Structure 1
Amino acid sequence: MLKKLVLVFLLTTHIVACVPGIHSSGPAIAKAQLLTNVFITPDGSYLPLKSWNTPLPETKSVIIAVHGFNDYSNFFQQAGTYFSQHQTQSYAYDQRGFGGSANRGLWAGINTYIADLDCFIQLVKLRHPDVPIYLLGQSMGAAIVIATMTQSNHQLVNGIILAAPAVWARQTMPWYQNTLLWTLSHTVPWMTLTGEGIEIMPSDNIKVLQALSKDPLVIKETRIESIYGLANLMDQAYSSAGLITDNALLLYGEKDEVIPKQPTYQFLNNLANTSDSRITIALYKNGYHMLLRDLDAAILWNDIYFWINTFATPLPSGADIRAQQILNQPIE
């Protein structure tokens, strides 16, 4: 892959410059709807929807789960099943360009992702008017939750859960990484990259990783322009730490090899320095990037369930106490 990137870089002077594409939503032409298996947006887009209904007569809370980059709504299958057994209803939809949605692999833009989530929140609140709603985002999904809440300050949401938030901003990246991304995104934005040759362990749950590798709805070849769009989103999320004023629970695995410790801990420290008592930060010693699907995922599910019902600390796992001990210390 490295040779391929270098070759493209050397040829860029002979290529007409392009602009990374954003395949945003169209004008409003339909009434937004929340159906059994689909979320219909105002521009008439059909976004596949999954829900985990609680079998109990009373729903105590609702979680709207937002998936990460190249993933889709199925990421919440195990967690959603757990929460459904604890009087908590969960919803997750395939965001534009991901999973079973149209324009697969194409980046829709930050504003469109925010608008979709904002609309979805309103529809869920109409369905559950007297039940507290929580947003849960994984990686890129967490960055979208941050962007949505800091721009619209949604009064319909009672709290947010950010799992392994994608906050690897450009200002924390090496200069050559920034230069290469800008050059490729403005010359060959349509070029795709795979993860072949990259030795990164996103989770210790091998069965889950094997299932993802075989799942046709998980994107395996990523367009450069989509990576560029993700970088823009991470920039915005990273710089918004001081704007998060909602009840917030942040979860990060110390073995995360996808989003590095340096930018994450800087983000968490910036967040902690807001001195807002409604923010709880938890660090999991054996956690990887895919925290909600790791072998120890049940520990996090339990922490989340405890938090959304009490907003109290310490968490059952003690991960918030560990965070207090580790943050503000030199990063290894």
Structure 2
Amino acid sequence: MAPPSRAGRPRARIALLAALLLAAGCSATFQPRGPMVRAPDLTAERIVTPDGVALPMRLWAPEPDGPPIRAVVLALHGFNDYSNAFEGTGRFFAAHGLATYAYDQRGFGAHDRPGIWPTADTLVADLHTAAALVRRRHPGLPLYLLGESMGGAVILSALAGPPPPGFEPLEPAGTILSAPAVWDRDSMTTLQRAALWVSYRTVPWLRLTAPRELKIKPSDNIEMLRGLSRDPLVIKGTRVDAVEGLVRLMSRAAAAVPRLPAPALVLYGRNEQVIPRAPIEKALAAMPRRVHVAVYDQGYHMLMRDLQGETVLRDMVSWIGDPSAPLPSGAHRQPFSEPAGTEMAGR
């Protein structure tokens, strides 16, 4: 057999290189927490985790000459968002005697590696770190957890499982979950599962954007949505491996719903379009009886930032003051599913 010609060798090398690059490109990229290298710390602008990662942090507290702090809220934002999601919420809470801490979760906002999924265990560990540091700063004050969408999924996962090594159980004074992300893999269609399975194993690095044809409306606050579209810290293109990571987290959260400890308040809008109706109804049916559920007729996914957001915030403040009292809006008396023969508003 004749040896390959010199002209054929470069083409063979190029083909081999292309194959190697393709194989390298098929590896998912994550940023799980590393080994403990220092004591965690809470500064004016960031939370420093035991593995030395700095998470940008925001604080809204009552004015020195205003009402005294009566409780502390630790808030976790949603997927592709960041701590600024709680700007309006934090200011409202501060006017009612609540101090609100919110941090950019690892992989989001002003974190060093935005867009790279950190793993569910890492998000849970970061929550434990933040809660311990906030408690240390405010000894004796009740600590409430507030999670929006993905943030709610992180809180559900953290409350249902054992704490990471070296941490105490969270045991908050109460938990508020606003449109918690519970879209588990079993609730996805066969086509959705197949598409994610194939893309995760072939192009995990590919960044996806929501097609305009979907016409998903996360809020009726159009000016707020336009601001998010201009905000460079809001992630616009999502990596496939981050989508896979989110689905794993949501599946874990959905399984944790029956173990959500009271007191807890779960909020959904009847116009929810980001999370499908079926997994929400499945989660609500699995909620423990002592968990309060509030449904807002005019609400969308971003309840705290909707046009009726102040109604939601007033309910939250009232519930923190007395979890057993009726909500001012009456949303606790509204079912998520409408009677047969009617359609959901906004659908």
Q: TM-score, normalised by structure 2?
A: 0.87
Give the aligned residue type for 1:236.
R
Q: Measure the CA separation in 1 of the matches of 2:248 and 2:338.
A: 26
Q: Give the number of equivalent residue pairs.
A: 314
Tell me whether 1:252 sits opposite 2:268 in the alignment.
yes
d(CA) in 1 for partners of 2:270, 2:221: 16
1:165 partner amino acid = P
Q: 1:127 and 1:219 mapped to 2: Cα distance?
A: 31
What is aligned with 1:284?
296
Q: CA deviation at 1:270?
A: 1.0
- Tell me which residue corresponds to 2:199: 184
* Change in 2 beyond 3 A, CA 1:331/1:168: farther
Per the alignment, residue 234 of structure 2 pairs with 218
Aligned to 1:12: none
What displacement does 1:53 show? Answer: 1.1
Give the drift of 1:52: 0.0
Question: Which of 21, 41, 62 in structure 1 is aligned with 2:49?
Answer: 41
Q: Which residue, 299, 302, 306 being the options, matches 2:314?
A: 302
Q: 2:326 aligns with which of 292, 296, 314?
A: 314
- From 88, 91, 94, the equivalent of 2:101 is 91
CA distance in structure 2 between the partners assigned to 1:53 and 1:303 by the alignment: 19
What's the CA shift string for 1:132-179, capped at 9, x where partnerless?
Answer: 110000000000010111114735411110000101111111011001
Distance in 2 (alpha carbons) for counterparts of 1:150 and 1:129? 24
Work out the CA distance in 2 between the residues paired with 1:165 and 1:331.
Answer: 25
User: In 2 relative to 1, CA 20–82 (structure 1 residues): closer, same or farther, beyond 3 Å?
Assistant: same
Q: Distance in 2 between matches of 1:238 and 1:213?
A: 29
Query: Structure 1 CA distance, aligned partners of 2:262 and 2:202?
Result: 40
Indicate if the aligned counterparts of 2:67 and 2:95 stay in contact, CA closer than 8 A: no
Tell me the residue number matched to 1:60: 70
Unaligned runs of 5+ in 2: 1-21, 164-168
* Aligned partners of 1:53 and 1:84 also within 8 Å: yes
Counterpart position of 1:236: 252
The 1:185/1:67 distance shift into structure 2, 3 A limit, reads: same
The separation in 1 between residues aligned to 2:280 and 2:215, in whole angstroms, is 20
SS in 2 for 1:54: coil
Residue identity in the other structure for 1:35? T
Q: Distance in 2 between matches of 1:85 and 1:251?
A: 22
Cα offset, 1:239, TM superposition: 1.1
Counterparts of 1:84 and 1:270, CA distance in 2: 33
CA contact (8 A) 1:63 1:136 kept: yes
- Say which SS state the counterpart of residue 175 (structure 2) adopts: strand
The answer to whether structure 1 residue 149 and structure 2 residue 165 are counterparts is no
Are the counterparts in 2 of residues 256 and 288 from structure 1 also a CA contact under 8 Å?
Answer: yes
Matching residue within 279, 283, 287 for 1:263 = 279
Q: Structure 1: how far apart are the matches of 2:326 and 2:79?
A: 31
Measured in 1, the distance between the counterparts of 2:91 and 2:205 equals: 38
Alignment correspondent of 2:117: 107
Is 1:163 aligned with 2:178?
yes
Measure the CA separation in 2 of the matches of 1:196 and 1:68: 20
**In 1: Cα distance, 2:195 partner to 2:27 partner:** 15
Give distance in 2, aligned partners of 1:80 and 1:303. 14
Which of 113, 120, 139 is the aligned partner of 2:130? Answer: 120
State the Cα RMSD in Å: 1.9
**Does structure 1 conserve the Cα–Cα contact (< 8 Å) formed by 2:124 and 2:154?**
yes
Instruction: Give the AA of the match of 2:196.
Output: L
Distance 1:301 1:57 in 2: 18
Contact 1:238/1:267 (CA < 8 Å) preserved in 2? Answer: yes
Q: Counterpart of 1:269 in structure 2: which amino acid?
A: A
Q: Which residue identity lines up with residue 210 of structure 2 in the other structure?
A: G
Gaps of 5+ in 1: 1-14
* Worse overlay, 247-256 or 305-314: 305-314
8 Å CA contact retained: 1:261, 1:331: no
> Structure 1 pair 57/318, CA: closer, same or farther in 2 (3 Å)?
closer
1:219-242 Cα deviation digits (max 9, x unpaired) = 001100000000001101111111
2:253 maps to amino acid: A
Matched residue SS, 1:119: helix
In structure 2, the CA distance between the partners of 1:331 and 1:25, relative to structure 1 (3 Å rule), is farther
Query: Aligned partners of 1:327, 1:30: CA distance in 2, in Å?
Result: 52
Counterpart code for 2:59: S
Moved more, 192-201 or 212-221: 192-201
The one-letter code of the counterpart of 1:231 is V
TM-score, length of structure 1 as denominator length: 0.90
Identity of aligned residues (%): 40
